[in-house]
């Protein structure tokens, strides 16, 4: 009786093992980890969150990667771009230290992001000349600078795993399809940007001829488009995304024909790194198994690499005197958080719009949330704080626009309201304007309590990027007259703060939007049994 019971229990245990898609019998088994960052935006050194946590920095990223390798695991380190622009470090050093720190960290490849173009192609070519890793963009055809066409490849191959049985990984890179509407036109008007799916259909056949073990996509397209490609191209084992700054945790992992498929984004500014622990089964028809996956917080629990920390500190001493100079004081936290300035009214958005309206006198001022790159903590406001909030070299313009064109602009903003991660063209508005997006596809816009007159001309202060139709807001290009003031946004903001000495702005109902956070879609059939990686 006991013997029979034992046999029955043994069968119960063995049958699932025999049915497992990842049975180890007769297979070469290779274990490795993938680490993924995106949208670091020149955060070279550790920084403090609004909650007071110290996080990020290349020194911490490097040390975390090293700690995994010391445990005997091979690591494939990847970036989905936007390593440039966002702090005073980029303004002074033009991205070269960012590339050098990535070299030292051991990145295997990087996709270009849109902010890599913020100082033009010549500056990009100069910085990328320092890169010892492949830089990828399959959907750009450069024309102006031949060195960029040579340096930037559509895809590359990397090997990971023990020397005797390396896993061959194909890595494709893609930049935003709307690149020409989200970068200053002068920097992107002389090359071609292809549809992402078209680029994949072009290059995947030749990639497959090389017989890689896995195919990964490094994408700076944004979550919505990445999800479309994930569903359209099942041969992609993973999409490591960026651009929408989403912290996807846990990553989206589904079952595919060859095992697990996955997609994720790691958030922004190096606050986290996405980690996948992968087991690859060679000679199996289901060869990819994700054994653990998740966001790893890069906080004080992870030590910094001493050498990189020292080098960042030396860079800081070169510019410290220029950026710590006090400008003003704020009695309240000035909210420039990405999820807020791209979706709703904030007190910093109000302060900036009022500043531009007052110092470049006009009926109204409109500021795109995507141009506001940081918050400012309560207390002293420094030059560095201002440069972090307004890192772009944008000039203020004064436009004459009809009420009909202004209404068109806000209707265009409403049409992008469902964008995952928020819409960079969401407009913060100056005092006297009230915009109600809950009224439908045509928002209700009031100026000094009255609807805009369709035929009346109003003066509008905004930045040159928007005046040229940036963020897809074509209504701005209907201006009947425009005047370049020659004044840069950061300079004007510093002057305004200096005049006021103390600020205490608040939200006052200038913008009415639908309540609740916007949900982003996830792929179907997510496997929910994957554990998070250990952080030690």
Rounded CA separation 322/518 (Å):
39
| Helix/strand/coil percentages in the chain, nearest 5 | 35, 25, 40
Give the closest residue to 454 by CA, choosing from 407, 404, 410.
404
The encoded tokens of residue 391 equal 């890192």
Residue 12 has pLDDT above 50, yes or no: no
3-state per-residue secondary structure call for 446-500: EECCEECCCCCEEEEEEEHHHHCCHHHCHHHHHCCEEEEEEEEHHHHHHHHHHHH
The DSSP secondary-structure symbol of 526 reads B
- How far CA 6 is from CA of 2, 9, 11, 15, 518, in Å, comes to 6, 5, 9, 14, 54
Strand order in the sheet with 457-463: 427-429, 364-368, 457-463, 395-402, 481-488
Measured torsion, CA atoms of residues 315, 316, 318, 323, in degrees rounded to the nearest 10 = 140
Measured torsion, CA atoms of residues 491, 493, 496, 502, in degrees rounded to the nearest 10 = -130
Q: What is the per-residue DSSP string for 316-359?
A: HHHHHHHH--EEEEESS-B---HHHHTTS--HHHHHHHHHHHHH
User: What is the structure's pLDDT at 213?
Assistant: 96
Q: Can you list the pairs that 118-125 forms with residues at least 24 positions away whose Cβ atoms lie under 8 Å?
A: 118/84, 118/85, 118/183, 118/184, 118/187, 118/392, 119/84, 119/94, 119/187, 120/186, 120/187, 121/145, 121/148, 121/187, 121/191, 123/94, 123/95, 124/95, 124/148, 125/151
127-157 residue pLDDT tens: 999 999 999 999 998 887 888 888 999 999 9
Q: Are 293 and 262 in contact (CB under 8 A)?
A: yes
Average pLDDT over residues 248-269: 97
- 3-state SS class at 388: helix
107-117 residue pLDDT tens: 999 999 999 99
Q: What percent of the chain has pLDDT over 70?
A: 94
The encoded tokens of residue 448 equal 């000094």
Window from 259-268, 476-485, 518-527 with minimum mean pLDDT = 518-527
Residue 1 has pLDDT above 60, yes or no: no
Q: Are 435 and 486 in contact (CB under 8 A)?
A: no
Average pLDDT over residues 514-527: 82
Average pLDDT over residues 234-241: 98
Tokens 């009809």 found at = 402
Residue 221 has pLDDT above 50, yes or no: yes
User: What is the structure's pLDDT at 536?
Assistant: 57
Q: Is the pTM of this model over 0.85?
A: yes
Residues 6+ apart with CB under 8 A from 385: 327, 374, 376
Rounded CA separation 264/403 (Å):
42
Q: Are 280 and 288 in contact (CB under 8 A)?
A: yes
User: What is the structure's pLDDT at 10?
Assistant: 39
Residues 6+ apart with CB under 8 A from 149: 141, 142, 143
Rounded CA separation 382/327 (Å):
5
- 3-state SS class at 47: strand
Rounded CA separation 424/426 (Å):
6
The encoded tokens of residue 268 equal 């922004």
**Biggest CA pair distance of the chain:** 95
Beta bridge partners of 428: 367
Residues 6+ apart with CB under 8 A from 71: none
The DSSP secondary-structure symbol of 424 reads T
Q: Average per-residue pLDDT in the chain?
A: 93
Residue 7 has pLDDT above 70, yes or no: no
Tokens 């036109």 found at = 185
- 3-state SS class at 29: strand
User: What is the structure's pLDDT at 419?
Assistant: 84
The encoded tokens of residue 164 equal 């005797």
24-83 residue pLDDT tens: 457 789 999 999 999 999 999 999 998 999 999 999 999 999 999 999 999 999 999 999
Residue 184 has pLDDT above 70, yes or no: yes
Peptide bond into 250 cis (omega under 30): yes
Q: Are 192 and 139 in contact (CB under 8 A)?
A: no
Give the closest residue to 171 by CA, choosing from 248, 253, 79.
79
Window from 163-167, 480-484, 502-506 with minimum mean pLDDT = 163-167
Beta bridge partners of 167: 160
- Phi first, then psi, for residue 110 (nearest 5°) are -145, 140
Domains of the chain, start order: 24-308 (3.60.21.10), 325-512 (3.90.780.10)
- 3-state SS class at 111: strand
Give the closest residue to 276 by CA, choosing from 79, 67, 35.
35
Residue 496 has pLDDT above 50, yes or no: yes
């Amino acid at each position: 009786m006991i013997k029979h019971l034992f046999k029955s229990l043994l069968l119960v245990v063995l049958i699932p093992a025999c049915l497992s898609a990842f049975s180890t019998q007769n297979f070469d088994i290779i274990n490795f980890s993938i680490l993924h960052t995106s949208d670091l935006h020149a955060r070279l050194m550790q920084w403090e969150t609004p909650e007071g946590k110290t996080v990020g920095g290349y020194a911490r990223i490097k040390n975390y990667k090293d700690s995994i390798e010391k445990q005997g695991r091979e690591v494939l380190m990847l970036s989905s771009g936007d390593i440039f622009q966002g702090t005073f470090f980029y303004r002074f050093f033009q991205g070269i230290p960012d590339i050098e720190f990535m070299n030292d960290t051991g990145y295997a490849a990087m996709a270009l992001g849109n902010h890599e173009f913020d100082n033009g192609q010549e500056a990009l070519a100069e910085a990328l000349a320092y890169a010892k890793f492949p830089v990828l963009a399959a959907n750009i055809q450069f024309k102006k600078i031949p060195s960029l066409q040579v340096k930037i490849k559509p895809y590359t191959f990397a090997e990971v795993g023990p020397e005797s049985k390396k896993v061959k990984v194909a890595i494709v890179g893609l930049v935003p399809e709307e690149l020409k509407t989200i970068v200053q036109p002068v920097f992107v008007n002389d090359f071609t940007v292809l549809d992402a799916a078209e680029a994949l259909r072009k290059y995947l056949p030749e990639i497959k001829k090389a017989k890689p073990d896995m195919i990964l996509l490094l994408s700076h397209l944004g979550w919505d488009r990445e999800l479309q490609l994930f569903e359209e191209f099942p041969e992609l084992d993973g999409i490591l995304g960026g651009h929408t700054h989403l912290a996807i945790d846990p990553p989206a992992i589904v079952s595919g024909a060859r095992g697990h498929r996955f997609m994720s984004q790691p958030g922004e500014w190096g606050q986290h790194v996405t980690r996948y622990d992968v087991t690859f089964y060679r000679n199996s028809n289901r060869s990819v198994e994700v054994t653990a996956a998740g966001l790893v917080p890069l906080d004080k629990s992870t030590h910094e690499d001493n050498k990189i920390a020292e080098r960042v500190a030396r860079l800081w001493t070169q510019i410290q005197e220029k950026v710590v100079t006090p400008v003003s004081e704020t009695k309240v936290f000035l909210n420039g958080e990405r999820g807020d300035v791209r979706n709703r009214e904030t007190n910093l958005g109000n302060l900036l719009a009022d500043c531009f309206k007052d110092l470049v006198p006009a009926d109204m001022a409109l500021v795109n949330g995507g141009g506001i790159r940081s918050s400012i903590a309560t207390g002293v406001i420094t030059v560095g704080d201002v440069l972090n909030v307004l890192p772009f070299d944008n000039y203020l313009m004064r436009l004459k626009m009809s009420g009909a064109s202004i209404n068109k602009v806000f209707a265009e903003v409403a049409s992008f309201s469902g964008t995952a991660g928020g819409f960079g063209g969401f407009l913060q508005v100056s005092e006297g304007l009230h915009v109600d997006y809950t009224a439908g596809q045509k928002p209700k816009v009031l100026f000094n309590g009255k609807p805009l007159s369709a035929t009346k001309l109003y003066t509008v202060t905004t930045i040159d990027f928007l005046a040229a139709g940036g963020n897809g807001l074509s209504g701005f290009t209907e201006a009947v007259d425009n005047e370049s003031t020659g004044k840069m946004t950061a300079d004007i903001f510093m002057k305004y703060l200096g005049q006021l000495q103390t600020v205490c702005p608040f939200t006052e109902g200038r913008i009415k939007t639908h309540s609740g956070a916007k949900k982003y879609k996830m792929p179907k059939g997510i496997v929910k049994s994957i554990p998070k990686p250990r952080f030690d």
